[in-house]
Structure 1
Amino acid sequence: MSLQVEASLEARNFNIALDMAPGETLAVLGPNGAGKSTLLSVIAGLLKPDAGSATLNGRTLFDFSSTPDRWLAPHARGTALLAQDPLLFPHLNALENVAFGPRSTGVSKAESRSIARHWLAATDTELLADRRPGELSGGQAQRVAVARALAAGPDLLLLDEPMAALDIHAAPLMRRLLKHVLADRNAIIVTHDVLDALMLADSVIVMEDGQVSEAGATREVLNRPRSGFAAGLAGLNLLTGTARAEGVETRYGLITGTAEEQLPPGGPAAAAFRPAAVSVYLDPPHDGSPRNMLRAAITDLEPHGDAIRVRAGELAADITPAALADLGLVPGTEAYFVLKATAVTLYGT
């Protein structure tokens, strides 16, 4: 394995184990406070865990099971951390900022500048070589920061929400850049944006309360989420319960749908479906069509694009403003959330 980490930190309720294959890009998803940045800090050597071990391409980063403990300094780990803030040296121009990494390892000034020019070109910032950070836009500075990280030749690139501080015009450019430079490169990217995961990552882990709640190939996790957070990112309703012969028994009742594989009765299972597939009624419809009808009290109403998202606990439906006006829905209203079985995917959890 390229990267293997097992680490725990009691003060942050952090306990994680993960493996990465050579050339793999991993996206780390999760709510605020889940431990995502803690994971990057532990790998980079900025935070010392209480216990565990980690190796990167055969190099031991830390090992607290040995005597004495082994702890590799951050600069010797072969990792590069890119945060939301580019953190460029304000007194150096872009070229010298990027050349700093190789220069600090003993590479000659001329060769360091040659490496820097290569990565400035790769990040489409070669025309900015003579500018200082104060003369760069946010997107330009972040691209130069990517060049600086890559110029150091890291075995593992760590990215902590690199698009979070960028505007709506700069973020897509950065995403396309990262897709290019991360190809066949080991990287871990912390993000709240499902598009980052879909475009950049081979696999995903979802962290909640300092633990990994689910992991797998990116599209598998987002198509068949097992956590409420992943379901929210994927834009899905997720109801968990117990598998029955007819479907999945949930807190809202039995839900029927299409199962991609046979579900053992009595086992844990989930039903996933899109809010746009759900209709809302004040009374049960009587047109005879076989449908799922889930009764629940509305908790929230919120704008969602051109629609109104109607929430009832774990349930969500997208309806038109006209339908909302006709139904007279307000929080506390008892309503029926109705959807066809063909719109529901059932799977084991």
Structure 2
Amino acid sequence: MSFHFEATLASRDFDVSLHCEPGETLAVLGPNGAGKSTLLAIIAGLLRPDAGKASIGERVLFDLGAPARTWLPPHSRETALLAQEPLLFPHLSALENVAFGQRSQGVRAAAARSSARDWLAATETEEFASRRPDQLSGGQAQRVALARALATSPELLLLDEPMAALDIHSAPMMRRLLKRELAHRFAIIITHDVLDALMLADKVAILEGGRIIEFGPTLEVLNRPRSRFAAGLSGLNLITGPTRDEGIDTDYGLIAGTSESPLPPGTLAAATFSPADISIYLDPPHGSPRNMLTASITEIEPHGDAIRVRAGQLAADITVAALADLALEPGMRVFFVLKATAVRIYPA
């Protein structure tokens, strides 16, 4: 039973197609305004596109191209959406909120409450069973909302930033719970956290400007990024350009590196490398370093225990001592030097 989706919505410049195999979890990442929440709203039936169709196995969620148009209402789609806001019913206790989904499916009250208690225990919120939403913290309410979503056993679980409201103690527990539960169902997770993608997702889609610009197995997308957004998630520099025998031609100079297979001259290729592998020089260093890129510093900012020096599309991490010794300032033209063995090259 696979999941297929395609939809366009002109008012939001949204045009997305995707396909997931049975039981796969898809993480959707992208900058703010990329169309991630639009995607979930259309799948959940809260937003109607101009055209498109979606199905889970043989069940058609919507088909706006057929002569007899199909549009299932949200309550008939067997999907559950956990939005960024918990959206708990304010007049119900946590226990009754979680039981509500099963009650609406026809489950008897006692059985629904028994199941709800199990889900509250799974999300470590059983002690809040009698509390109403205004008596819960944001993180507690989010965990109760997740319990409510899971309790209905949806065919497709839609999660919009599920960890955003959780503290550092609750988030790991929730990831463990989701990893266990998502093994048995379709799920689409909107997230800004690469850890969520790595731990929970079989595939990753990078969404920008209402279009999917990268799609594939999680490790493949994050280890071989082809967009600057994906490279940033992976903590890598990404520079593209046409290949030559010696490497890739870029605006910063020639970049040489290692490639899994030979690339014919003129091929558009990507070079990725870590900011930690770069050394900065004020003058060309002695000897013949394989990669010496020339750029003007645009920003200098703290980055964990290091200092990140940006120069256009390049970023280098250096120590505070190195920053002081070099007396770097924005506007200075410097040399970014790194070994060819630190650079991966592959088709862009």
Relative to the length of structure 2, the TM-score reads 0.96
Whether 1:250 aligns to 2:220 is: no
Describe the SS at the equivalent of 1:143.
helix
For each residue in 1:31-66, what CA deviation from the matched residue of structure 2 results, as whole angstroms up to 9, or x when unmatched? 000000000001000100001111112111111111
Q: Which moved more, 1:157-166 or 1:197-206?
A: 157-166
Structure 2 contact 289–337 (Cα < 8 Å) conserved: no
How far the C-alpha of 1:328 sits from its partner, in A, is: 1.3
| 1:205 alignment partner in structure 2 | 205
Match of 2:191 in 1: 191
Q: Does 1:98 align with 2:127?
A: no
Contact kept, 8 Å, 1:278 with 1:339, in 2: the verdict is: yes
Indicate the RMSD between aligned Cα atoms, in angstroms: 1.4
Alignment partners' CA distance in 1, 2:133 and 2:147: 14
Counterpart residue number, 2:68 = 68
| 1:1-349 aligned within 5 A | 1-286=1-286, 288=287, 290-349=289-348
Cα deviation, residue 289, structure 1: 5.0
Structure 1 range deviating more: 192-201 or 118-127: 118-127
Q: TM-score, normalised by structure 1?
A: 0.96
The answer as to whether partners of 2:252 and 2:295 remain within 8 angstroms in 1 is yes
4+ runs of 1 displaced by more than 6 Å? none
Structure 2 contact 238–270 (Cα < 8 Å) conserved: yes
Partner of 1:192: helix, strand, or coil? coil
C-alpha contact 2:142 2:165 (8 A) present in aligned 1: no
Query: What are the ranges of 5 or more consecutive residues in structure 1 without an aligned counterpart?
Result: none
- Distance across 2 between alignment mates of 1:229 and 1:129: 41
Deviation at 1:118, TM superposition (A): 2.8
Verify the 8 A CA contact 1:139 1:174 in the aligned structure 2.
no
SS of structure 1 residue aligned to 2:120: helix
**Which consecutive unaligned segments of at least 5 residues does structure 2 have?**
none
Equivalent pair of 2:3/2:55 in contact (CA under 8 Å):
yes
- How far the C-alpha of 1:163 sits from its partner, in A, is 1.5
User: Which one-letter code corresponds to 2:318 in the other structure?
Assistant: I
Residue identity matched to 1:115: S
* CA shift digits 1:232-279 (9 cap, x unpaired): 111000001112222222221211111122222211110000000000
The one-letter code of the counterpart of 1:303 is P
Per the TM alignment, residue 5 of structure 1 is displaced from its structure 2 partner at its CA by 0.5
Distance of 1:185 and 1:243 partners within structure 2: 43
- Choose 305-314 or 240-249, whichever is displaced more: 240-249
Give the Cα–Cα distance (whole angstroms) in 1 for the partners of residues 245 and 232 of structure 2.
Answer: 28
What amino acid is aligned across from residue 97 of structure 2 in structure 1? N
Cα pair 2:25 2:188 within 8 Å, conserved: yes
For residues 181 and 143 of structure 1, the distance between their equivalents in structure 2, rounded to whole angstroms, comes to 14
Cα distance in 2 for residues equivalent to 1:68 and 1:244: 55
Q: Is the 8 A contact 1:139 1:171 kept in 2?
A: no
